[in-house]
Each structure stands twice: as C-alpha cells, then as structure tokens.
Chain A
Amino acid sequence: MTAIERYAAPQNLDEALGILQQGEVTILAGGTDLMPQTKAGRIAFKPTLMNIGRIAGLKGVTLDGEHLRIGALTTISELLRDPLVAQHAAVLAEACDHFASDQIRNAGTLGGNINNASPAGDTLVPLIVLDAEVELASKPNGSVATRRMPLAEFFTGPGRTKRAANELLTAVRIPLPKPGHVARFYKFGTRPALDISTISIGIAGIKRDGALTDTRVAFGAVAPTPVRAPRTEAALEGRRLDAAAIEAAADAARDEVNPIDDVRASAWYRKELIHNMTRRMLDHVAHA
C-alpha cells in the first residue's frame, strides 16, 4: 500500500532542494527502478513524492572546461546519441548500448542509474574507470551548497550511497581524456538483450609504447557495490601488455574479486568470467 501524501513537481533546482530539506521525500526521475521496486515492496514511498523531471537545468551534456558534464536527468537513450559523449566518453555510450531495452532507456536516467546503486548498474563501471565525479547539491541553510565526490567512493552498499537525504545528485563530471586514452567495457549476461549483468568489467588507461599508465580497472556485480580493482591495476600499471602481463593481471583480477552465489551465477563462475574476460579485453587493448 502506498503512503504518498504529497506530490511535488518543482520547476527548478532551488525549489527542489527546498522540498528535500523538509525531509521524507522519495525522488522520482525516470521511474524505471523506483516503480518496480515499490511495487515489489522492496522500497517504501516516503510521504512526499517529488518528480524532478521538470527541472530543465538537470538535463543535457555540456563541456565544462576540462570536464564533460552530464546532467542527472540525461536519459540512457540521450547518452547513446550524444556527440560529446561519443567523442569524449565512448565507453559510456557502449555500456548504454547493453542497457535494458529501448523503452527503459528512453525513460531511465543516468542519475537514477547511479542512485539506484545496484552492484550491476550498467553505467557505473564505465563511469568509475573514466574517473567520474558526482555533483551533489543541497540547501541546508537557505542557500544552495554543492559538493563533489569521486564516483568510486560514492557507493556504500546495494541501494546505498553517500548522498545525504537532503541532497540531490545534479550531474556527473568526467575529465576529458588525455592523448592515448583507451577505455573498454564488457558486460556478461546470458543473453544479448534485457539482462542483468552477471559480471561487468571496465578497463581504462593511457596507452603508450605498448604499456598502460593511469590504469583503471573496475568490476560490477562481484561485490556489494561496483568496485575499483587496485591489485589488478597495479599488476598492469606501466607494464608492457605482453602475454605474461595480461595473464598476471587476469589472475590478479580473479583473486581480487569476492562475488556471491545467486540465481544468476555461482561465485566460482563469476571469478572465472572475470579472469577470462579481463584477459580477452586486455588482448584487445594490446592489439588495438
């Protein structure tokens, strides 16, 4: 049974943050996670339901100095078609191409995918390897305050983040890639469409003289949150991508993750996939 007492549809950020500050608010954007989860009883509506869909300032992709800034309300379909994303964060668009179905992509937003904080969230792993930050706004004492945080540090558990109850995730900022930047994403599902990741892998870095530096490796669906893989990164950092380095990195990746058994896969199989597909992706990076 729903317990919504008030519906709010603010037109601007200031108004939205004011409503949030009053407390007990459920935020609605695309609704593609919120609706099924409330229906299934996994989350309960708070007394105020706030639809942020009319806040124009939360939409769109722009260049902001040395950063690509993606508004939280940008839909997955818009990310797929956006020329700036294609130019500066192609791996994010690639992940969006494996995201649910067209209908869900048309409604679901980037901010929603991040705040849903699923360990299998499709955009999270590529954003982490792109060093994305989230921008959080609040209005604690009458004026708007903003803070930023690396996405890799944002998640605290399944469905849980460091966003405070009075904060709204307004945008994602991605540093523009440096020369030689490569990034790859792989999602394993048992079918090509409409699937939840069994595991996902993101790899990025600066490739120079056959070696990776500034290496970023992240995995989805192998822990309570999407995770960076520091030992795998260390195994790769600065090393020439030859067969031995790739195998060492793949081994490190398998040892580093600690997935669970569930209805989609066993922990053992997830570790095997992490190993085999990290190796395959690094092979591709090496030969690209």
Chain B
Amino acid sequence: MNVAEKPVIAPDSLIGQRIQKKDAPEKAAGKTRYIQDMVVPGMLHAKILRSSRVHARIKSIDTSAAKALPGVHVVLTAADVPDQQPIGVARDHLPLKGERVRSQRDEIAAVAADSEEIAEAALKLIRVEYEDLPVIATPEDAIKPGAPLIHPAPLDADGRPQALPPKTPIAFAGKADNIAMRFDYTHGDIAQAEAESDVVVEDTFQLHYVTHCCMGVSGVIAEFDASGNLLMYSNTQVPFLHKREFAEYLNIDPSRVRIIQPPIGGGFGSKLDIYPFEVICIFLARAAKRPVKMVFTREEEFLASPTRQPVLLTLRSGCKKDGTLTFRQVHTLHDNGAYTSWGATTPFVMMQTFSSLYRVPACDYHTTVVYTNNPYAGSFRGYGNLQATFAIEQHMDMLAEKIGMDPLDFRLMNAQDAGEVTGQGMTFKSCGFKECLTTAAERSEYRKKHADNLANRDAPGPVKRGIGIASMLHVGGGAKIYPSDGCGTILKLDDFANVTLITGASEIGQGSETVLSQLVCEELGLPISAVTVVNNDTAITPWDVGVHASRTTFIAGNSAIGAARKAKAKILAAAAKKHGCDEVELDLRGGFVIRADSGEPLVELARLMRNLHFSDKAELVMTTFYYEPPSVHQDKAFKGDVSAAYAWAAQVVEVEVDTDTGIVKMTKVTGTHDVGRVLNRLGLEGQIEGGVVMGQGYALTENLIVENGITRNPNFRDYKLVTAPEIPEMDITFVESMDGEGPQGAKGVGEAPAICIAAAAANAIYNATGVRIFALPFTPEAVYRALRGAAPKPHWQAWKPE
C-alpha cells in the first residue's frame, strides 16, 4: 500500500476547486488558431492521391498531365523518393506505394500546388493502371491455409526470392505469412483452475470499427530552412518521439528537426503514431523548397486516420459456487489491416484487464494479429480496454446468474483491496475499487432497480427498462512501455512573481495546462492567472514521452511540483536571509511570503523577486525537474508493475429498450471514479462526461462500416456520433484514495470514463429484455434482430498459431 494522508485543505487552496480551463476563452471566442488557420509565407498546399482499389498491383502511374497543370509545383510518387523508409511499429509501411496497394487508404501520389483547388484538380489528372488482386476482407480469411499474402516477399527478375540482408524491414523483405504480431501470456494453472470450477461460460464477442472523430482533423506544415533544418507544425501527441523518428527517416541528426504544435483539436490517441501524410508532406517540402501544408478533409479523416482496434474474442471464464473466480482463458483475433500501427499492440492493455480486473487465480491469454486489406487500427482512448472489459463484465453478470448470486455481491467478493499484487505483477497501491462499486450502486439504486426490471420484463408495452453495472481497471500512474516514462519541467519566475511553466507535456484539449498550473500555484501560493504555460515546441520544452496512457496529470504533474518545490526552497531561503529568520518558519500564500505559524505576510513575493533581480548579486529563480515514475518495464512474459498507480471506476448504465424498433435509449449513467484526489473538479467532470459520451457512441451509435475493404460511411451523416439530445443524465462522483505517489494524491483518469459503458449497457439490455448481445454496436437494427432471435451469435473457433 502507498496511500497518503489527506491534508486539511487551506481555504485558499486551488486543489479540488472548479477551475476554468486556461484556453477556454480563446476557444469560446473562436480565436484559437489551429493548424487549419495557419498561413506560413510562401506556403504551398498539398493533396494525396489515394488508391481506388482495395488490393491491387500498380502497373503504371502517369503524372505528366498533373505536372503540366499551371500552379502545380511538385508531383511525387514512390519512384521519386527512392530513399523513403518504412514507418510504423513493424516497419511494414512505406508512405508512398509504388508496387502494390493493400487498402483503400493507400497513398499513391502527392501534389503540392499554389492552392488546394489546384492540387485537387491535379490529382484528377493522374492516371493509375491497376491489376486487381484477391481481397482479404476478414481476419478469419487471412489465416486460412493458402490465403493470399498481404506482404509477399519481392521476387527478383527470375522470379526467385531476393537475397536480402538480415533484419531487412517487412516493407522491403515481405512476410511469409499474414501474422503481424502475436501475444501469449499466462499465470496460474489453468487446467487445475478449470477443474476446481463449478461453472464455466464460454462466448465469442465481436468488437467493431469506430474512429476518433476529432474536431481538428489531421494536418501538418513542413518546411526546411536554408541549412536543411526541418521545422514541422504538427498535431502530434508525441512530439519528442516523432522528432527522433523523422530524423531517422530523413537520415539527418535529430537536433535538426523541430516540432511546434499549434493548438490541437482533439487527439484521443489518433495522433500517437507517424502516418504517411506527414512523411509525404516533408518530401513535398524538400522537393518544392517551400513550406507545404497538408490538412485532411473530413472524408479523408474517416478513410485515412486510424480506427479503434476491431477484435474477435473468445472468452472462457470460471467460478466456484461460493462466488470465487477461478480462471479466464482468452483467444483473440485482431484485424491489423494492411499495415501495423498501435492497434496491434492493444493486447498490452487487454491482457492487464483479463489478468487483473478482479482477482483471477489463473489467466491464459493469446492474441493473433493478422494482416488484411482493411483500414488499420491505431491507439484510441482506452487502448484495448473497452474491448476486454466488454467481454469480462458480461461474463461477470453471466457467472453470477449461473450461481444465483447478486451481480454486485459477486463483483465485491472478487474485487481487490490496496496492497494486493495481481498474477501479472501489478501492485495495487491506493485502491478504491470496492468503494467505486458500492458508491455507484447505491447512488443509482442498482439492486432495487435490477430486481424491479426483472419483475417487469414481461409486463405489457413495448418499452422495457434495464440497469447494468460494470467496472474498469486502467493504469493511473503512467505506463512504462518505453525505457523512460518521464517528463521534464523548466520553471522560472519573473520580476512580478509570474511563473512561466515550460513542460514537455502536450495539451490536446484534455486540460493539462490548467491542472499543471494549479499544482504549481499550490506550491507557490499564487493565483492561477500568474502562470503562463509553454508546452508546444521541442526546441524549448524538455523531454516527455507523449500524451498517452492517462499519464499527463500524474507524470507531468509530479514533474511540475518538483520544479515548483525547488523554486519555493530558493525563494524561502532568499526571504529568510533577507528577513533574518529560518526558512522553515516561512511559507508562500496569496502572493506573499508569510510566517508559517501565524500566516502574517512578511513580504509580497513580487517585491522579493524584484529585490533578487535588481542587485549586483542578482539571482534568478529558475529551476528544472525531471520526474521518472517508480514503475518497471514488463519482462518478456509481460509481467511487472508497469504503472506507478492504478485507477478504477464503476459505472451503472440505465436504458430503455423499445422492442418495436430496437432503439436503446441511455437514460442515466452513474459513475464513480477512483481518481486518487480531485484536482480540478470542473476539468475532471468535463473529461468524464466526454468519456461517457464516447463510450455511449461506442456502445450504441458509432460504426465505421467496412465491407470488402471499402469504408461505406466516411461522413457524419451516416457515421453516427452521439448528438446532444441523446446524452444521458449523469451522476458523477469521485473516490479519493489519496495515492502516495500521485501529485497531491491524484491518479490519471483520461481514458477511464469511456471504458466500461458498453459493457454496462450490454448488462442493462439483458436486464431489460433477457437477451444478451455479444457484438457491438447496439444499433437499433442490431438490437431488434437480437430481440427477434434473428441475429446470429458471433462464433469463432479459438485459435492461435503453433
């Protein structure tokens, strides 16, 4: 256990207050300048020609007419960039495709022109001859014996495999099968655990494609200066990782790459990888010797930005009659699409949920990630956890029903306490799991409503009411997936006691600027308005791994506190010296140096700062701090305490199911989150409400329809985001478990609220109708079919490669 004592909150403390986001006035006034608004002198506009086929050999590309169009500066194909390097975690993805297209999104050519209109017109003049190849449209087809290969090895002129040096990337060497990645994890004795089980359930679950739908679509501006240094204006969530990777692709020193992030209109994980459009834009800028801007259209964003990982998943779960969970055995088939991005690595998170959400004595987990001709999946808020939780939390209800136990009691019986270590080696330090369950259940009157709904299932009338509960476990103290999970801070105070907080942590709309400012102000006794945050330029800001894994408040927060405490020590030492007292007798509050015991102001901080600066022995208050969490990298068996803290939530979803139409109306969500400690109450509520709605969209409305590799609904008309009238009433409460390592006791919460909504909705629909649905989303037609017994249950023969 590592739990801090909750301090008495000073009346002027900012902790736990409702603080308006620092960027809110700019955004509300429409003054924020996103990348869409940016104009760089001399800039050209770029467009990409994408494949009109799903899987084909490219026989020829003719760009002559496009090049001849007035206003066109550069037209590039793969042949023009022989130095291009493969991108992505598996190095299987060349930005411009020369020989073969493998999905509808594939980039064949790119144009830089005086205007977007000219670039668009030039694309229409490019002639591409294709020779169609058989399409692999499902992951099941990809693993059939004799299935066509998505990345076949290239042959030499005589039709023989080329001799290539070892470690040649897949993009050049090919892959002898369609298996992109596999993950195998186990703890405990599955056979014995199954033998001890009184009840075993097995089901296949099918999780669909959804996509992020950021208001700010993907975009980049690339320019080279006269010395060949690259400057990029980019929406990335991971500027420092990208700086290094772009340098690698361009074969230049990373110090020559600078990334500036304009305000980012949402990320949610979509901006966590490098994509072809960014590299292509750099190539265009290099060829044109001009700045080049490329911004997606909304349709392009649907077609060519990543999706959430679709999953086919077979779960076996067991328990004893007394309610003790015994084991979970999981096989999943991940549709990788044609290229590998972060979606393929979602098993890192999924297996944590299977191994450690509730006490699981034995767990056996296998994922096979296979290439197809479909769109490829990336990282998306929750990172596999929505998919895993959807299966687990339905099985929790099903097991409870089989042994005749109340579903809440069953969960409470298996929920962990602080101090427990899971089979995967996650050590639960602060842990408010049970309190989340009981609070959400009590506030929603879960037990009573659950029983009432069961009693009313067969009452007349087409509309049935249901209530369902689910809980979630996620990293809350960063995640050590890279050798470092750290973040640096530089902090300085000026003559007026204003603070400039220079942090590696990016703001992508999640509110990090505000919460980091709050943490600094709490140390220095200053109002939030005293802080200016600089966080968007790799030439200025210190290292950070990026915005992912719900880590920013925890990691960057601890880093900011570290820098602020060093500044405070320096200030108090100077004040003590000047006023002839001991620094331990002093504190900072309300813009003053005060006497700690009486609260009596000693000197205004701004005045002290000026005195320090305007002297022949001038001293500046400038500090740095680097925070690296005490977590560990997983070992080869995927075991280890990967996060410095873990977060829980329980959510209760109430629905009304119209059995005449299949419409599921989400009427209320009661959520209780173990956030460690509430820092910015307003920001926290906003982030949770937004996450709940994202989870609602995943559960009920959003569905990127991909048929034979073609995305059928790349628009907001037919890809249904939740709209305002559909948003349920929400009752959001917090458990303050006061994490001993967290900044002021707080833990990460960014991804948490979206994770268990779909699972709770499934349980609620079952409570209402007695029908359990194993495939998402619960669109009206899907639900109606299930209610009429006209929906085939997902089926997959669990499989893993030998």
Q: Give me the interface of A with B, judged by CB distance under 8 Å.
A: 1, 188, 190-196, 263-266, 268-269, 272-273, 276-277, 280
Check B661 against A277 for contact (C-beta < 8 Å): yes
Interface assignment of B726: CB less than 8 Å from any CB of chain A: yes
**28 residue pairs A–B, Cβ–Cβ below 8 Å:** A188-B661, A190-B663, A190-B701, A190-B720, A190-B779, A190-B780, A191-B701, A191-B726, A192-B723, A192-B725, A193-B723, A193-B724, A193-B725, A194-B723, A195-B720, A263-B705, A263-B712, A263-B713, A263-B718, A265-B781, A266-B781, A269-B781, A269-B784, A269-B785, A272-B784, A276-B660, A277-B660, A277-B661
Chain B nearest CB from A243 CB (Å) reads: 13
Chain A nearest CB from B578 CB (Å) reads: 62
Separation of A167 and B781 alpha carbons in the complex (Å): 41
Count of B interface residues, CB-CB < 8 Å: 24
Check B661 against A273 for contact (C-beta < 8 Å): yes
Chain B nearest CB from A39 CB (Å) reads: 11
Chain A nearest CB from B771 CB (Å) reads: 16
Q: Give me the interface of B with A, judged by CB distance under 8 Å.
A: 121, 462, 660-661, 663, 701, 705, 712-713, 717-718, 720, 722-726, 779-781, 784-785, 788, 790
Taking a contact as CB atoms closer than 8 A, the residue among B661, B701, B718 that contacts A264 in the complex is B718
By beta carbon, the residue of chain B nearest A190 is: B780
Check B660 against A280 for contact (C-beta < 8 Å): yes
Taking a contact as CB atoms closer than 8 A, the residue among B462, B723, B784 that contacts A191 in the complex is B723
Residues of A within 8 A of B705 (CB): 263
Chain A nearest CB from B659 CB (Å) reads: 9
Grouping DSSP codes into helix (H, G, I), strand (E, B) and loop, the A interface class, with mixed when no group exceeds half, is: loop
Residues of B within 8 A of A188 (CB): 661
Chain A nearest CB from B780 CB (Å) reads: 5
Chain B nearest CB from A215 CB (Å) reads: 22
Residues of B within 8 A of A190 (CB): 663, 701, 720, 779-780
Separation of A98 and B271 alpha carbons in the complex (Å): 36
By beta carbon, the residue of chain A nearest B117 is: A1
Check A276 against B661 for contact (C-beta < 8 Å): yes
Chain A nearest CB from B369 CB (Å) reads: 28
Chain A nearest CB from B122 CB (Å) reads: 13
Separation of A190 and B701 alpha carbons in the complex (Å): 8
Separation of A179 and B660 alpha carbons in the complex (Å): 32
Chain B nearest CB from A97 CB (Å) reads: 12
Separation of A269 and B713 alpha carbons in the complex (Å): 19
Closest 6 A/B residue pairs (Cβ): A276-B660, A269-B781, A192-B725, A263-B712, A193-B723, A263-B718
Residues of A within 8 A of B717 (CB): 196
Residues of B within 8 A of A265 (CB): 781
Chain A nearest CB from B197 CB (Å) reads: 40
Residues of A within 8 A of B121 (CB): 1
Residues of A within 8 A of B462 (CB): 276, 280
By beta carbon, the residue of chain A nearest B705 is: A263
Most buried by B among A1, A191, A194, A276: A191
Chain A nearest CB from B715 CB (Å) reads: 10
Chain A nearest CB from B722 CB (Å) reads: 8
Chain B nearest CB from A11 CB (Å) reads: 33
Check A191 against B661 for contact (C-beta < 8 Å): no
Separation of A188 and B663 alpha carbons in the complex (Å): 10
Separation of A268 and B781 alpha carbons in the complex (Å): 10
Separation of A266 and B785 alpha carbons in the complex (Å): 11
Separation of A193 and B725 alpha carbons in the complex (Å): 8
Separation of A192 and B779 alpha carbons in the complex (Å): 13
Taking a contact as CB atoms closer than 8 A, the residue among B661, B712, B726, B781 that contacts A192 in the complex is B726
Residues of A within 8 A of B790 (CB): 268
Chain A nearest CB from B6 CB (Å) reads: 43
Residues of B within 8 A of A276 (CB): 462, 660-661
Chain B nearest CB from A263 CB (Å) reads: 5
Residues of A within 8 A of B722 (CB): 191
Check B660 against A191 for contact (C-beta < 8 Å): no
Residues of B within 8 A of A266 (CB): 781
Residues of A within 8 A of B724 (CB): 193
Separation of A57 and B156 alpha carbons in the complex (Å): 75
Separation of A148 and B781 alpha carbons in the complex (Å): 40
By beta carbon, the residue of chain A nearest B725 is: A192
Separation of A192 and B663 alpha carbons in the complex (Å): 11
Chain A nearest CB from B789 CB (Å) reads: 13
Separation of A280 and B722 alpha carbons in the complex (Å): 26
Residues of B within 8 A of A263 (CB): 705, 712-713, 718
Separation of A210 and B790 alpha carbons in the complex (Å): 36
Separation of A25 and B660 alpha carbons in the complex (Å): 46
Residues of A within 8 A of B712 (CB): 263
Residues of B within 8 A of A194 (CB): 723
Separation of A284 and B720 alpha carbons in the complex (Å): 30
Residues of B within 8 A of A193 (CB): 723-725
By beta carbon, the residue of chain B nearest A279 is: B660
Residues of A within 8 A of B718 (CB): 263-264
Separation of A266 and B705 alpha carbons in the complex (Å): 14
Residues of A within 8 A of B779 (CB): 190
Separation of A147 and B717 alpha carbons in the complex (Å): 37
Residues of B within 8 A of A273 (CB): 661
Separation of A272 and B663 alpha carbons in the complex (Å): 13
Chain A nearest CB from B463 CB (Å) reads: 11
Q: Beyond the given A191-B723, A269-B784, could you list 19 further A-B residue pairs with CB under 8 A, ordered by the A residue number?
A: A190-B701, A190-B720, A190-B779, A191-B701, A191-B725, A191-B726, A192-B723, A193-B723, A193-B724, A263-B712, A263-B713, A264-B718, A266-B781, A269-B781, A269-B785, A273-B661, A276-B462, A277-B661, A280-B660
Separation of A9 and B381 alpha carbons in the complex (Å): 51
Residues of B within 8 A of A280 (CB): 462, 660
Most buried by A among B660, B712, B725, B781: B781
Separation of A277 and B165 alpha carbons in the complex (Å): 67
Separation of A192 and B660 alpha carbons in the complex (Å): 16
Separation of A196 and B781 alpha carbons in the complex (Å): 15
Residues of B within 8 A of A269 (CB): 781, 784-785
Most buried by B among A190, A276, A280: A190
Separation of A112 and B726 alpha carbons in the complex (Å): 29
By beta carbon, the residue of chain A nearest B712 is: A263
Separation of A196 and B121 alpha carbons in the complex (Å): 31
Q: Contacts A263-B713, A277-B661; is A191 near B720 (CB within 8 Å)? A: yes
